[in-house]
Amino acid sequence: MLEIALVLATIVTVGVLGFLATIFTPRLMTTIGLVMLALGLLVGVPTGFWYHVLLYRVLSPRMTLPPKWWWAPVDLHPHLTEQELARLKPWFTIGGIGFVLSIVGGLAAMAGLLVR
C-alpha cells in the first residue's frame, strides 16, 4: 500500500514539476532539483541504511535471511512482531520519503536542464 502511494505521489509530483518548469526559469528549476536531490540523499541514505541494519539485527538470529534480501526487505515484515515492526517503521518511512525526495529532485534537475 505504501509503495502504491509513493508511486502515485511521484507521478503527481512529476506532473507538477512539469507545470512548474513552465513558470520557473530553467536555472532556478535545476537549482531547486539539485537541492531536493541532495536533501533526499542526506535523509534517505542514512535512515534507509539504519533500517536495513535494524531489520538484519532483528531477523538474523531467528532465521536465515534469503540471498539479496535487502532488495525487497518489505517481504520480511510478516516475520516481525508488532513491537519490532513499530520500532522499524519510522526508519522505513523516513528512508522512503528521502528516496522519493531524491527521485523527484533528480527529475526536477533534469527537467530544468532539458528546458534550456
Could you list the pLDDT tens digit for every one of the 116 residues in the chain? 788 888 899 899 888 877 876 777 888 889 999 999 999 999 999 999 999 999 999 999 999 999 999 899 999 999 999 999 999 999 999 999 999 999 999 998 998 888 76
Residue 28 near residue 112 (C-beta atoms within 8 A): yes
Domains: count for the chain? 1
Whole-prediction pTM value? 0.72
User: Helix 82-115 vs helix 26-59: angle between axes, to the nearest 10 degrees?
Assistant: 160
Structural domain boundaries, residue 53: 2-115
- What's the confidence (pLDDT) of residue 116? 64
